[in-house]
Amino acid sequence: MNAEAADAIHTYALTSPLSTLTHGDVIVREEWQGSDNLLWRLGVAPNGASDPSPDVVIKMYMDAGWVRGRREHEAQQLFAPLGLAPQPLWFDRDAELLPRQVVGYSYVDGAAPDMADPAIRQAIAVAIARVHASDAAAMPRVSPNPMNFDTFWTLLQENVATVRADLDGNAAFIAALDALLRSAGNVAAAAAPLWANAVPTPIHGEFSPENTLIAPTGVIFVDWELSGLGDPALEVARFVQGHLVEPAARDAWLTAYLAACNAPGMAERIAIYRRLLPIEWLCLLLGGLEDAVTTFGAEIRADMVNLVTAVFAAAASAMEVAETPSRYAIERLLQSFEAGGKS
């Protein structure tokens, strides 16, 4: 990040009426850059004082609009008293001297979780269960994530249809996608009653090890900008499928979560999402395949053939269908992208 941005944040911290750093010798200690935000850790030099002011994180959102900042601040207000989020300090929608909205919150001195440690995995399971079991009436916003199974299933069908249209003319891929969607439709129809009495609850929105800190006080979640009311079963399924590789670790984590959550039907709903998520991943992979190949060319072809084969196989296994495109068909598709067109 450039010095000009750091200077602007420093000036803002010293002059904004919302800032808690308007006294003393304010210094920028650290800087971080996310995919769509910038963060600075600022502190006040002690100048001999025995109890200097605690450090503050100022987070600037680089996306359009202001809802993400408001969403994060409100979630911190709800979950900081439970020890699950940093202490919120302010939200500034129209930050003077800065190009975008910012939030300020207390810096958390924590470490990234060691996901190989069973005790840490269990602590994370209990902590996210506390988020999901918190008061839905206190959460003022809806998460951008799907709120329920019906929304998820509708979006998944649309994703498959988009990918299918992009692969128009490739019979091997279309036949395999159609087989997956038919089986998924049967699964979705049979599972729909599981959500009949399920209501949205507070969710983190981007629950992952990357957004989790192990602090002296316990597990603390950061980056609440996609939080709101949503489907906890989907949030858990994404975490389990995406971040727990070993089956034994997955089972132990789910056991700890379900014991702490104690919501009727939760295990069954999580299981349905876990079956359907590989189709979502397949759509994401196929949707970005042409850009990847045209950018990197033949040097990644063998790796991409292996990746597409593996993800297709995972989706087919979850849906209990046998039809997948051959490695030859996958390689021909990649070659057609390299040549500038689909075949």
Task: Write the CATH number for 56.
Answer: 3.30.200.20
Q: Is 30 helix (H, G, I), strand (E, B) or coil?
A: strand
Give the C-alpha separation, 147 to 121, whole Å: 26
Chain centre to alpha carbon of residue 193:
27
Residue 343: pLDDT above 50? no
Q: Do 265 and 203 share a structural domain?
A: yes
Q: Do 190 and 42 share a structural domain?
A: no
Which has more pLDDT, 168 or 243? 243
Q: Do 97 and 62 share a structural domain?
A: yes
Helix locations, the chain, DSSP H: 3-15, 67-79, 118-132, 149-166, 171-191, 232-243, 247-261, 266-287, 289-296, 301-319, 327-339
Q: Do 187 and 78 share a structural domain?
A: no
Which of 74, 106, 138 is the last residue in one of the domains? 106
Question: Using one digit for the tens of pLDDT, what is the confidence trace for 274-329?
Answer: 999 999 999 999 999 888 888 887 788 889 999 999 999 999 999 999 999 999 99
Q: Do 149 and 100 share a structural domain?
A: no
Q: Do 303 and 156 share a structural domain?
A: yes
| β-strands 56-61, 102-106 pairing | antiparallel
Q: Do 88 and 127 share a structural domain?
A: no
pLDDT of residue 336: 85
Give the C-alpha separation, 78 to 269, whole Å: 26
Which of 60, 81, 106 is the last residue in one of the domains? 106
Residue 341: pLDDT above 60? no
Closest to 222 measured CA to CA, from 111, 147, 125, 136: 111
Residue 169 DSSP label: T
The neighbour count for residue 50, using CB atoms within 10 Å, is 5
Closest to 14 measured CA to CA, from 6, 24, 5, 4: 24
Q: Do 284 and 181 share a structural domain?
A: yes
What is the domain count for the chain? 2
Q: Do 102 and 181 share a structural domain?
A: no
Q: Do 179 and 148 share a structural domain?
A: yes
Q: Is 110 helix (H, G, I), strand (E, B) or coil?
A: coil
Output the domain CATH number for residue 308.
3.90.1200.10
pLDDT of residue 189: 97
The sign of the dihedral angle between the CA atoms of 191, 174, 301, 289 is: negative
Residue 194: pLDDT above 80? yes
Q: Do 83 and 119 share a structural domain?
A: no
pLDDT of residue 52: 63
pLDDT of residue 220: 98
Does the model's pTM come out above 0.75? Answer: yes
Residue 50: pLDDT above 60? no
Residue 63: pLDDT above 80? no
Residue 146 DSSP label: -
Which of 77, 106, 135 is the last residue in one of the domains? 106
Range of the domain at 296: 108-343
Q: Do 81 and 115 share a structural domain?
A: no
DSSP string covering 191-233, please? HGGGGTT---EEE-SS-SGGGEEEETTEEEE---TT-EEE-HH
Residue with tokens 């003077």: 96
